[in-house]
Amino acid sequence: MIDRKENVIWITGASSGIGKAMAIEWSKLGYKVALSARRKELLELVATEIKSTGGEALVVPVDIMDETSIENAVQQIINNWGRIDIAVANAGFGVIGSIEKLTANEWNRQLQGNVTGLALTVKYALPHLKKNNGRIGLVGSVGAYLPSPSFGAYGASKAAVHSIGLTLQVELMGSGVSCTTLHPGFVESEITRVDNEGMFHPERADPRPEKLIWPTNKAAKVMVNAILQRKRIYIFTNHGRVLVWLQRWFPGLIRMIISKGPKPDA
Catalytic residues: 154
Bond before 237 cis per omega within 30 degrees:
yes
CA pseudo-torsion sign 46, 49, 50, 52: positive
Q: What is the dihedral of CA 93, 98, 99, 101, to 10 degrees?
A: -100
Identify residue 103 by its one-letter amino acid code.
T
Strand 57-59 and strand 8-12: pairing? unpaired
- For residues 177 and 123, the answer to whether their CB atoms sit within 8 Å is no
- H or E stretch at 117: helix 117-129
- Interacting residues of 8 by C-beta distance below 8 A, sequence separation 6+: 31, 32, 33, 34, 77, 81, 83, 84, 85, 86
Give dist(CA 230, CA 173) in Å, integer: 13
214 forms beta bridges with: 187
Q: How many residues would you count in the chain?
A: 266
- For residues 219 and 236, the answer to whether their CB atoms sit within 8 Å is yes
